[in-house]
């Protein structure tokens, strides 16, 4: 009988050691960047933790500009951006990096006009005119002419744009710079631009919030944020002359139209894609990681996660309003993963 306490104590010691080993084996990955894919990334990281309980992935949704800065400073294990790195940004990195597209999404033009539901038709010229401050009222003839039967109020337009360095801004301005020469010369394209008018919101969340609380507002957000916030979104006239609303299917159409180009270089812009069913303001989003990770365990863990994201993770995309990657693009991603030097 006297031996029981010793046995229990020994068993307790073994449990403590086992727990300690379990805790020690937990790998924590830290990432930061784009708000565009955050609803999907949040789901991915949660589901992957259920699949691999010893892996915890923490992600700060701070905008693409912030993500690029943090991966450059090596304060995170991976960065995230909807804008591929420019040649200068890539050269400025302290080591060679790979950019892996993870999913695609649509940038929706959202608005707050009483009595006007989803599907307000907007041409490229009108979208550029709105965001350049040239179209000032919602009953402007340029909007009314393509929306017969829609009662448009004599309501001032209130522009909402991003205030932070943003991949969503990059996709949106890339589109407008392609379709409108005036916008290209006066505003340009980039993660941050000098908007001629409007107020800024931080992140897709901030823009959605500003539009929701401002009568007459119009802004641009990743489609998932439009759905989550129950904001009406426009049908944009595409390259084929069709008015198309954002959705996973119409984003996939845009990707499919440019699939051959994307296989050669995943940084190819997919805005203003050809095809009758293509949504014009579509884009890919990327994870940025070092080819030679300083922490071998974290490097291996990150690659293992990415392999899961390219398979099981893709199956979660459509339900969260994103578009899964094509088989060819996933194959190209897998080749990039093989180029990462794992210790």
List, for residues 52-62, the tens digit of each pLDDT value. Answer: 999 999 999 99
Which pTM was predicted?
A: 0.90
pLDDT at 342: 82
What is the token pair recorded at 229? 């916030």
Where the chain has pLDDT below 70, the residues are 1-24, 343
Instruction: Say how far apart CA 249 and CA 252 lie, in whole Å.
Output: 5
pLDDT at 163: 95
Residue 156 DSSP class: B
User: Which ranges in the chain belong to alpha helices (H)?
Assistant: 3-25, 38-51, 64-72, 87-92, 124-131, 141-144, 167-179, 181-186, 203-213, 223-228, 248-257, 259-264, 296-309, 327-338
pLDDT at 1: 45
pLDDT at 25: 83
Name, in order, each residue with C-beta under 8 angstroms of 317's C-beta and a sequence gap of 6 or more: 40, 103, 248, 323, 324
Name, in order, each residue with C-beta under 8 angstroms of 7's C-beta and a sequence gap of 6 or more: none
User: Are the C-beta atoms of 270 and 284 separated by less than 8 Å?
Assistant: yes
pLDDT at 2: 47
Q: Which domains does the chain have, with CATH numbers?
A: 28-103+285-338 (3.40.190.10), 106-282 (3.40.190.10)
User: Are the C-beta atoms of 263 and 332 separated by less than 8 Å?
Assistant: yes
Radius of gyration of the chain from Cα atoms? 23
> Sign of the C-alpha dihedral, residues 177, 82, 327, 268?
positive
The SS3 call for residue 341 is coil
Helices (H) and strands (E) in the chain, counts: 14, 11
* CA 144 centroid distance within chain: 32
What is the token pair recorded at 302? 């990150």
Instruction: Say how far apart CA 35 and CA 41 lie, in whole Å.
Output: 9
> Sign of the C-alpha dihedral, residues 265, 270, 276, 279?
positive
């Amino acid at each position: 009988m006297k031996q029981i306490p010793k046995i229990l104590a020994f068993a307790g010691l073994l449990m403590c050691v086992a727990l300690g080993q379990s805790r020690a084996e937990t790998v924590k990955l830290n990432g930061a960047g784009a708000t565009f894919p955050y609803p999907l990334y949040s789901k991915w990281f949660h589901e992957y933790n259920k699949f691999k309980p010893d892996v915890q992935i923490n992600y700060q949704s701070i905008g693409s500009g912030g993500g690029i800065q943090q991966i450059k400073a090596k304060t995170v294990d991976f960065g995230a951006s909807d804008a591929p790195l420019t040649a200068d940004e890539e050269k400025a990195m302290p080591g060679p990096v790979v950019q892996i597209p993870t999913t695609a999404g649509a940038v929706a033009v959202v608005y707050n006009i009483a009595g006007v539901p989803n599907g307000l038709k907007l041409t490229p010229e009108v979208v550029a005119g709105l965001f350049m401050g040239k179209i000032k009222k919602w009953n402007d003839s340029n909007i009314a002419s393509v929306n017969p039967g829609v009662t448009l109020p004599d309501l001032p337009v209130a522009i909402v744009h991003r205030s932070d360095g943003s991949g969503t801004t990059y996709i949106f301005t890339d589109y407008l710079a392609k379709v409108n020469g005036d916008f290209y010369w006066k505003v340009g394209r980039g993660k941050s631009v000098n908007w001629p008018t409007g107020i800024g919101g931080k992140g897709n969340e901030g823009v959605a919030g500003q539009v929701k609380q401002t009568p007459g507002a119009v802004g641009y957000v990743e489609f998932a944020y439009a759905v989550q916030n129950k904001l009406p979104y426009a049908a944009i006239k595409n390259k084929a002359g069709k008015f198309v609303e954002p959705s996973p299917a119409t984003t996939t159409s845009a990707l499919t139209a440019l699939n051959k180009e994307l296989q050669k270089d995943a940084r190819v812009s997919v805005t203003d894609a050809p095809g009758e069913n293509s949504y014009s303001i579509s884009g890919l989003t990327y994870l940025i990681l070092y080819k030679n990770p300083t922490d071998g365990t974290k490097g291996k863990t990150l690659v293992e996660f990415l392999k899961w994201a390219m398979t099981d993770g893709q199956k979660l995309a459509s339900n969260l309003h994103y578009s899964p990657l094509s088989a060819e693009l996933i194959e190209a991603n897998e080749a990039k993963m093989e180029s990462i030097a794992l210790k």
